[in-house]
Amino acid sequence: MNDMKQIALVTGATSGIGEACARRLHKAGYRVIITGRNAIRLNALKDELGSDVLPLIFDVRDREAAEAAIASLPEEWQQIDVLVNNAGLALGLEKEYEGDYHDWDTMIDTNIKGLLYMTRAVVPGMVERGKGHVVNIGSVAGDAAYANGNVYCGTKAAVKAITDGLRIDLAETPVRVTLLKPGLVETRFSEVRFHGDTDRAANVYKGIVPLTGDDIADAALYALQAPAHVQIAEMLILATHQASGSVIYRS
């Protein structure tokens, strides 16, 4: 029965880690709300997965649109059990003093403010119902800055601090909070960072077997399926030949 299944909402589900999480959660028996800006990609994913998938097309940077999207959910989709705050991106790889203002605004508005907007819209319902789990997708980049990563690293450091703060604020409730910190994952991440330069993006993954979106989705599911008394607070997930955000061995 549909009303017996848990509901997961995944932001940024049009590609990469978000799409992989949506697929993995659906396979695990969740009803999945998939969100993003690209209606064509979202509807294609819904058509592929079939039943128990609901697309919501909006930009997490737009607080009013995010609030309206959550408010528009049909009654049978309103009790969200899992929120995967995945929507995020890096733009540019310039020195901080040479950075692009627009890139900065987009990263800050998406990676930080978008995550906060979705948390504010969804978590109160979890607290009221006495159950829920928030999975925030951070990054190894949030642990220490790397060359030319400046603002992106700063946004992911903020995600860690915000996630830790949320966990503290929810300690008196049964709602759990997990931070996943991926390293090098081969998705559209680098293509977006380099504004569509596919050749430059491909070089990021040369000489190493990177992680995949499925690897991060598996980690998310592991945290979600832990016993109710177990909270997987944080996971750092790296490729075998990656030691940190800036140390990568390439063959």
Specify the 3-state DSSP secondary structure of 95: coil
Helix (H) or strand (E) holding 234: strand 234-237
Enter the tokens of residue 199: 């050749």
Of 30, 152, 222, 249, the active-site residue reads 152
The span from the CA of 137 to the CA of 127, in Å, is: 21
Asked if 191 and 197 count as a contact pair (C-beta separation under 8 A), the reply is yes
DSSP labels, 101-163: HHHHHHHIIIIIIIHHHHHHHHHHHHHHHT--EEEEE--GGGTS--TTTHHHHHHHHHHHHHH
The span from the CA of 181 to the CA of 179, in Å, is: 6
The span from the CA of 117 to the CA of 53, in Å, is: 22
Closest listed residue to residue 228, CA positions, set 181, 166, 180, 173: 173
152 is catalytic: yes
Burial of 204-221, coded b for 16+ CB within 10 Å and e otherwise, reads: bbeebebbbbebbbebbb
Give the residue numbers marked as catalytic: 152
